[in-house]
Amino acid sequence: MRYFAVVSYKGTNYCGWQSQTVSKLPSIEQTIESVISKLLNCDTKIYGSGRTDAGVHALGQTFHFDSTKELDESRFLHSLNELLPDDIRILQFRKVSDYFHARFNAVGKTYVYKIRNAKVSNAFKSDLEYTLGQKLDIEKMKEAAQVFIGVHKFQNFTSKEEDEQKFSRNIGDISINAEKNDIEISLTGDGFMRYMVRMIVANLIQIGLGKLTAKDLQDALENPVRKPSSFKAPAYGLYLKEVIY
């Protein structure tokens, strides 16, 4: 039997979603696997919708796993949260079709990037948002963001060296909302490659600072010669908000 879960986590104390042998920090994946294996009394592998990097957070990451016995969904959800550390919370848990796959059935994702546009960081959110002490032109950022909408080859906005889709991705929406010192950039697309969101956000920040123009972004998108952007926003401002099925 196959079970599906939605999980939120604070990525500060982890090496990312995927288990890594080279890091001294635990991964989100192995932490959850350890608890599920303990509850089921057997080694259990979970399959996530995708990876998040070290320091990146999630409001709605998803995963699935298989069990040889039927589980009481409500009780198992409660047990998971009782045993998991406080910075990982399972929000939803349910049985799904044996043919369902958390990664391959996903049709899109929404990421959110949080910026504090102030000279002094919030002491309670220093690892949850990127503090930038320079004034940003939000309207110019909104206008430039439209360059990314639609199907493009994002080979210059990812660290990924090879891609089976030839770096082609479809971004359906980018919105930028600002309220006082808080800025939130939301991106929805059919998929995002390694560092892609952080590179797009960093380039939009450069637009807001007056250091790049929308034409610079357009040129980078249309340049067939691979030359990845040198701008990359810090991981701790990024959240995987939702996986779309």
Active-site choice (53, 163, 182, 216): 53
Q: Tokens 């309670």 map to which residue? A: 124
Distance CA 60, CA 76 (A): 19
Catalytic residue flag (residue 66): no
Which residues are the active-site residues? Answer: 53
